[in-house]
Amino acid sequence: MVSLISMLMTLIIMAVAFFIMAGLGGLGIPAFGDLKNCAAYAMAGLFVFTAGSHFFSPVREDLINMVPDFFPFPVQIVFITGILECLGAVGLIIPTTRRAAGTCLILLLIGMFPANIYAALNNIPLLGEPATPLWLRIPEQLVYIGMILWAILPTARIQIRTEDQA
């Protein structure tokens, strides 16, 4: 049986990175003083981690097998998506490119999701373990998309009027 921890490893890595950076911000380190920056940095770290598997690790072959049959050139697709993840990670770190990079990464997550569906429905293993079931993978994807959105969208400013201002 697949352990829940192994299925959620990327989510755990992202959350731990976020909370470590937020803690450093709480200790007064300016780069981590803004939680939206911490979210962007945590997602950048996550994408660098996952992109590496597109090139070097034993997971690469599993990722190639996850590409649905109706897509041509699965090896090239895995390579290109790895490059896009790396570029998106760099873009999240740079404030002036964060919004564009985040938007592109959200589109990439949506575009790659058919591979997760294909893997789950066809029992394609990842590192010898069954693919993450869709009932878990869908909310996980939504957390990643939500974290990116939080990092790239402006914070709403709420102005409260006092009686003196009315």
**What is the pLDDT at residue 4?**
62
Rounded to two decimals, what is the model's pTM?
0.87
Q: Give the closest residue to 102 by CA, choosing from 62, 147, 56, 152.
A: 152
Domain that holds residue 142: 4-152
- Grouped pLDDT means (10 residues each) for the chain, 166 residues: 66 93 94 93 95 87 92 95 97 97 98 92 86 88 96 76 61
> Quick check: is 166 in a domain?
no
> What's the domain count of the chain?
1
> Quick check: is 162 in a domain?
no
Distance CA 81, CA 99 (A): 19
**What is the pLDDT at residue 8?**
80
DSSP secondary structure letter of residue 97: T
> Quick check: is 76 in a domain?
yes
> Quick check: is 160 in a domain?
no
Amino acid at 129: E
**What is the pLDDT at residue 165?**
58
